[in-house]
Amino acid sequence: MQAHQVDGIKRDHFKIFQQRAYLNSCSQGALADEVRTAYTLYLDQLEEFGSLWESWVGVQEDVRTQLAKVFSTQGDQVAVTTSASAAVNAIASCFDFRNGPNKVITTSLEFPTVGQIWHAQERNGAQVVHVPADLDNRLPAERVAAAIDENTAIVSVTHVCYRNGAMNDIKAIVEVAHERGVPVLVDAYQSTGAVPIDFENLGADFLVGGVLKYMLSSPGIGFALVNNKTVSELVPTTTGWFAARDIFSMDIAAYDPAKDARRFEAGTPNVPSLYAAQAGLKFLLEVGVENAWRVSSELHSQLRAGILDMGGKCATPEGDDEHGPMLAVKTTDEHALVNAMAQDNVVVSSRDGNLRISPHFYNNSEDVDMALRSIAKNRHLLFTH
C-alpha cells in the first residue's frame, strides 16, 4: 500500500521507526530528535551558566504561547501546570461545596485521576454522580442533561475515552450545561495534538491535558485552558508563587492571585520538561493538528478494515466524529497479544480486554500492515464471536 506521509516532515526525526512500528501514541508520543536535543540544551546551559532563571521563564512563556496556538485561543487563557492532575485539583479547589451547589456530574468514562480528584472533594461536601455511558462508551448529551439540576456545581467529562477511543460530543454537552448555568470541565488528554480543537468554538469553561502523548513531548507538563469570559469569578485555593498577580512582589501577607489563567498555576514548574514541551509543540505546530488528524484517520480506517477482514471485532465506535485516533480491538487475552506483537517489533498497548492501537502523523501504511500481520499471526488471541 502507498505510504501515508505529512508533507515536509521526515519520519527519520523519530529514531524508533528504525527498529519498530510504534503505534502507541495514546500512551506516549514517539521521541523526536528535536525533543532529545532540547534536553541536552537544558543540561548544557545548566552546566555552563548555573542559574537559568531568565532562560526557562522565557521557555515557559513560549510553551504557553504554543499551547494557545494549538487550541486557537489566547495565552492569557492558558495555565502551564506539572500535570493534568495538578490542573484539575486547582479547578476543584475553586468550589465551596459546603455553602453552594455541591453536585459534581461526571461520567463512567473518566480516567482515574479525574474521578479520584472529584471523590476526594466529598470530604469537602461534594456529591459525585457518574452518568453511565453505553456499552461501547458512547454518551448521549441528553443523558448528561438529565443528570443536571439546580444543585449542580460543575460537569466534568472526557473528550476521548482512554479505554476504547470513543469520542464525546463536547459542544453538545457544553450547550446543555450552559443552558442551566453550569460550567464544564473537559479532560482532553487523549485528543490534544491528535484531534483539532478550537477552544473558543468549543465553548467549554475549562479544558485540561498534557503534552506527553500526541503533543510529542514528555511527562512533567500539563495545562489548563480557562475561559476568561465565563469563569473569571472562580479562584482556586490550591495555589503557589507562580499563580500570584505579581510574582516579584514577594508578598507573604496576602493572597493576590493573577486575574487570568495563570491563577491556576502553582510553584516552580518542571523546568527540564518545559524544554521538551517547547520542542515537541514546535514540531506539532509545523505539522499542523489538522494534518495529523487526516493521517491518523486514514490509518485508523485501514486498521479497522484489516481487523474486520480477519474476523476480529473492534470496540471503538465507527461513526464519524465518534472516535479519536485510537482503535480498540477485542481480545481474549490483551496482555498476551501486546507481548506477542512486541516480539514482532510492533508497539501497542491494552486496556479493559482490548488491544489499543493509536497511530499519529509519523506513522504510515507500512506500520499498519506490520501490525496487521502480527495480529493475524496471533489470531487465536482475537475475540471473534
Cell match 454518551: residue? 139
CA distance 109 to 166: 9
State the fold for domain 36-284.
Aspartate Aminotransferase; domain 2 (3.40.640)
Distances from the Cα of 98 to the Cα of 88, 142, 177, 290, 313, angstroms: 19, 28, 21, 44, 47
Question: How far is residue 225 from each of residues 145, 168, 318, measured CA to CA in Å?
Answer: 23, 18, 29
210 and 225 Cβ atoms separated by less than 8 Å: no
| CA separation for the pair 128, 287 (Å, rounded) | 40
- Count CA atoms closer than 13 A to 49's CA, side-chain side: 12
DSSP 248-295: GG---SS--B-SSGGGG--SS--HHHHHHHHHHHHHHHHH-HHHHHHH
C-beta neighbour count of 268 within 10 angstroms: 12
The x, y and z cell numbers of residue 378, run together, are 496471533
- Counting Cα atoms < 13 Å in the Cβ hemisphere of 11 gives 19
Judged on CB neighbours under 10 Å (0-12, 13-18, 19+), 375 is: buried
The angle, 0 to 180 degrees and rounded to 10, between the axes of the packed helices 289-309 and 271-287 is 80
Tell me, what's the pLDDT at 2?
A: 45
Give residue limits of the domains in the chain.
11-31+289-381, 36-284
What are residue 186's DSSP bridge partners?
Answer: 157, 207
CATH of domain 11-31+289-381: 3.90.1150.10
pLDDT for residue 1: 38
Q: What is the pLDDT of residue 385?
A: 78
C-alpha–C-alpha distance, residues 225 and 57, integer Å: 19
Rounded Cα–Cα distance for residues 169 and 172 (Å): 6
CA distance 97 to 136: 33
Per-block mean pLDDT, blocks of 10 residues, the chain (385 long): 56 95 98 98 95 94 98 98 98 97 98 97 98 96 97 98 97 97 98 98 98 97 98 97 93 95 96 98 97 97 98 95 97 98 98 97 97 97 92
Grid cell at residue 329:
480491538
What are 225's strand-pairing partners? 78, 207
Q: Nearest 5°: phi and psi at 117?
A: -65, -45
pLDDT at 10: 78
